[in-house]
Each structure stands twice: as structure tokens, then as C-alpha cells.
Amino acid sequence: MDVISVIRKKRDRGRLTPEQIDWVIDAYTRGEVADEQMAALAMAILLNGMSRPEIARWTGAMIESGERMDFSGLRRPTADKHSTGGVGDKITLPLAPLVAACGAAVPQLSGRGLGHSGGTLDKLESIPGWRASLSNEEMLRVLEDAGAVVCAAGAGLAPADRKLYSLRDVTGTVESIPLIASSIMSKKIAEGTGSLVLDVKTGSGAFMKTLDDARELASTMVELGNDHGLRTRALITDMDTPLGATVGNALEVRESVEVLAGGGPADVVELTLALAREMLAAAGLPDADPAKALADGSAMDHWRRMISAQGGDPDATLPSAREKQPVMVPSSGILTRLDAYAVGLAAWRLGAGRARKEDPVQAGAGIELHAKPGDPVTAGRPLMTLHSDTPEKFQYALEALAGSYDIAPEGTEFAVTPIVLERVGE
């Protein structure tokens, strides 16, 4: 086998054989295939796609590149959730302790930012002392104590995906359905959770821009999971508008704590509860009431235990950006559009994301939204506020936001798009 032949075959729209897939994943993991060669193959896959058998074999090869975890010794049923990524998507933060408060164990392996989409680990690392990297033994201890853990996949879990995940972020190959599906499902299957709920986002701020693409990705992942004995279902959710009122790492942590305290934006609460109900049903706990766990403070208790168990201080002051700049409303009326991709790109330019896989992120950078579609706005008042430690980046963020919103005259009728669009699976 040689990697040039594999690249050329996919470049020319051919189907890779199982042997070619097994070889290239193994060789890349060992370093025999260079990053630039795998980047070329990833681009060929992005442009020409993969058949279902190819995706299944690619996923299997990613799983077999490392170890598998086992949570069968836990006293609770296990349930996990994965989002395909969006703008302002901080749902994992309140969701994991909420589901834990309802009786399930949540072994949540999360990732870092991809392009304009924020990363759960980047958000949580804005909490002083919090650690993303845990050994398997530490992960089990946190699960036993707090009922939920959010951490990075260990070096031994799907190491091929660990390398490819970072490479996709900086080579323009994030949006490939085969690579998204295999990346997510290889980790989740190897993780050993008993059930999985997928939040597949669609819209301008999602990697799946159309509902048809979101359906294809959701059905591909549900089939991959169920074929491997992992009870899997999916919700397709809207990502034309940023989720919640903040975009950025520490900003989104603050908002998540507000949700756990019984407040927070209505759309974040709605989606958190919808996903919690799906996870609890998949875990065999359909009668549990997540709304009650938010109201009575038990979800907040599990959050504090989870953060403390991973070295974080749940009472610590979160980082704030050194500089702020408001973006003013140009005319009074009704906000009818706020483009999620533009807001995500602007937050990325402010320092909330990374341009290279080794780049740091600014914990305090991001955007605070003062209105959402359907809200009345007043000329001369802030529509949003930009946060950054590097004020020279404000201009680049403003360029990204040009044309990102529409304001209609007062009295214009406006129908808000539902958060949950469709359901796939059981």
C-alpha cells in the first residue's frame, strides 16, 4: 500500500477498499502518513464523499486504532450527548449535571473549537483550575462522585481521530459528512456509553447548512451507533441564529450557570430540557423530570461537584476581556435576522477560537447579544457588545458582522423558528 495511490483513488471518485482504509488509518496513526498527505485525502473525501460501507469501515478503523472503555461497573445507566457544533452552543455545560441529577451517569467526552464553532473544553478551561485531561481511573471516580464528567478523550481512545480532528480544523475539511460522522461515532462507540443522543444542527452557523444534509448526517450516525450496539437517536435543531445570549468561552460558562440557577435564555433552557428528556428515555429513565431538577437546585449541586472533582473552583471569578466595544442599533424596529455564522466568525476573530491547532484562545473574548430575532430594538442602543483582550481585532470582527442582521419596521409580524426541527431514531 502507498498513500499516494489512496489519495488518487479518492480524488478520482473511486471507492476505497476495506484494506486501503485500514492501512491508511493505521499508517497515519503511526506517523507513516504525513499530515499534508492526510489533509489531501481529507479534502478528496470532502469533495467526493464516501459510500456507507466506506464510512462504516473508516469508523471501525478509527475505533480499532486505540482502546475501548467500559462503564458496566457503574451503578447508574450511562447516557451521552454530542452536538455537531454551533454558535453559542453551551448546552453540554448545564445538560450533563442535569441528567446526572435525574439518575443517569454522563461520561461526556468533548472537544475543542472547530472553525467558527466553539469547543466545550475551551469554555470549561476558563474556570480557574479546571482540568480537561483525566485518566480513565479519574474519569470513573468523577462519575461515581458527581454523576457526570466532561473531559477530553484520553490519548488511547481513537488516537487516529485525535490527530485527524485537529487537522480538519485548519485545512478546511470540517464540513465533510463522512469525516464528521466517523469522528463523532468512533469516539462515542469506543467510549463505551450505553446510549447516545445526537444534537445535529442545521443553518448558517452549523456545518450542515441545509436540512437535507443534517438529515443525512443524523441518519448516518444513528445507523453507525445502532450497528455497533450503541442505542442512538438524534434531534435536528436550528442554528440559523446563535443559541442563547452569549458567544465565547467564559461568557458561555456564566450563561450556563444562570440556566442551572433556574434562569438563563429561554432557547437554551428549552433545548437543554429536550435533550435531557431524550437522554433519560434512552437510558431507561423515561419518568425522570429534568425540569424539576433545574427548579429544585439538584442540577446545580451536581455541577458544583463535577467542576470541583476536576480541579475547578465553581465559586471563582471567571475571566473577563480587557476591552469591550458596543455595536449600536442603526434604526428602531423588530430584529428579524441575526446570522449565526457571522456572529461565530466575529467571535473567532476576537480571539474566542483558533486559526491553527496549536493556538491558544482568549477565555474572555466573545460577543454578548442584547437582542434575538423577534425582539424590538431601539436606534442608538447596543445590539451586541464585542469582548476582546486585543482591541485591534474589533475592526475585523465588525467586518464579519457587516450585513449579519435585519431590522423590520415596528409592528412587523415575525414567527420564531422552533429550536427542535426533527427527530431521527427510536
In this structure, what DSSP letter does residue 210 have? Answer: S
- Reduced to 3 states (helix: H, G, I; strand: E, B; else coil), residue 198 is strand
Q: Is 381 a catalytic site residue?
A: no
Catalytic one of 10, 57, 81, 82: 82
Catalytic one of 176, 183, 195, 204: 183
Q: Residue by residue, what is the 3-state secondary structure of 355-390? A: CCCCCCCCCCCEEEECCCCCCEECCCCEEEEEEECC
How far is Cα 366 from Cα 88, in angstroms, rounded to an integer?
10
Q: Is 82 a catalytic site residue?
A: yes
Catalytic one of 122, 161, 199, 240: 161
Q: Residue by residue, what is the 3-state secondary structure of 59-91? A: HHHHHHCCCCCCCCCCCCCECEEEECCCCCCCC
Q: Is 187 a catalytic site residue?
A: yes
CA distances from 85 to 78, 245, 403 (A): 22, 16, 23
- Reduced to 3 states (helix: H, G, I; strand: E, B; else coil), residue 238 is strand
Burial of residue 137 (CB within 10 Å: 0-12, 13-18, 19+) is exposed
In this structure, what DSSP letter does residue 402 have? Answer: T
DSSP-assigned letters across all residues of 279-301: HHHHTT-TT--HHHHHHTSHHHH
Q: Is 267 a catalytic site residue?
A: no
Those residues with Cβ within 8 angstroms of residue 353's Cβ, 6 or more apart along the chain or in another chain: 113, 115, 116, 117, 118, 347, 361
CA dihedral (302, 142, 124, 199) in degrees, to 10, reads -80
Q: Is 168 a catalytic site residue?
A: yes
How far is Cα 390 from Cα 307, in angstroms, rounded to an integer?
29
Catalytic one of 57, 116, 168, 393: 168
In 91-210, which residue ranges form alpha helices assigned H by DSSP?
Answer: 92-101, 120-124, 136-146, 159-169, 177-191
Catalytic one of 57, 81, 112, 187: 187
State the first-to-last Cα distance of the chain, in angstroms, to the nearest integer. Answer: 41
Dihedral sign of CA atoms 333, 339, 344, 346 in order: negative
Which of the residues are catalytic?
A: 82, 161, 168, 183, 187
